[in-house]
Amino acid sequence: MKNEKDKIDLADANFPTAKHATLADVARHANVSAMTVSKVLRGVGSISKDTRARVKASAEALGYVTNGIAGALSAKKNTTVGIVIPSISDSVYSEIISALSDSLTEAGLTLLISESNFSGQIEERQIRMIMSLRPAALIVTGGIERSISAEKLLKRYPAPILQLWDADNPFGDATIGPSHLQAGRIAAEHFLKSGLNKIAYVGAELSKDICARLRLEAFRERLAEENIALECFVDEASPRQAASGETLVNQMISSGYKPNAIFFLNDSMALGGLRALLKYGIKVPDEVSVLGFNGTSRLNTVQTQLTTISMDRRAIGTTAGVALRAILDGKKPEKIPPTKLHILSGTTG
The residues binding a second copy (CB under 8 A) are 14-20, 63, 65-73, 78-80, 87-89, 91, 94-95, 97-98, 101-102, 105, 108, 110-115, 125-126, 128-134, 152-153, 155-156, 158, 241-242, 267-268, 271, 274-275, 278, 296-297, 299-304, 306
Residue number with CB closer to a second copy (18 or 192): 18
How far is Cα 100 from Cα 324, in angstroms, rounded to an integer?
A: 10
- Single out the segment in contact with DNA by CB under 7 A; choices: 70-78, 79-87, 105-113, 210-218: 70-78
Residue 70 lies near DNA (rule: CB under 7 A): yes
Residue 147 touches which of DNA, a second copy, none (CB < 5 to 8 A by kind)? none
Nearest to 215 by CA among 133, 82, 309: 309
Q: What's the min distance (Å) between Cβ of 180 and a second copy? A: 22
Over the window 8 to 47, marking each residue x when it contacts DNA by CB under 7 A and - when it does not, the resulting string is -----------xx-xxx-------xxxxx-xx-xx-xxxx
Contact by Cβ (8 Å): 289, 125: no
φ, ψ at 187 (rounded to 5°): -60, -45
Residue 324 touches which of a second copy, DNA, none (CB < 5 to 8 A by kind)? none
Residue 169 touches which of DNA, a second copy, none (CB < 5 to 8 A by kind)? none
Residue 255 lies near DNA (rule: CB under 7 A): no
Contacts of 125 (CB under 8 A, 6+ apart): none
Q: Which residues of 6-21 are buried (b: 16+ CB within 10 A; e: fewer)?
A: eebeeeebeeeeeeeb
Contact by Cβ (8 Å): 199, 223: yes
Contact by Cβ (8 Å): 347, 298: no
Nearest to 65 by CA among 19, 97, 119: 19
Residue 303 touches which of DNA, a second copy, none (CB < 5 to 8 A by kind)? a second copy
Residue 35 touches which of a second copy, DNA, none (CB < 5 to 8 A by kind)? DNA
Residue 79 lies near DNA (rule: CB under 7 A): no
Contacts of 24 (CB under 8 A, 6+ apart): 7, 34
Contact by Cβ (8 Å): 29, 54: no
Q: What's the min distance (Å) between Cβ of 340 and a second copy? A: 20
Residue number with CB closer to DNA (46 or 303): 46
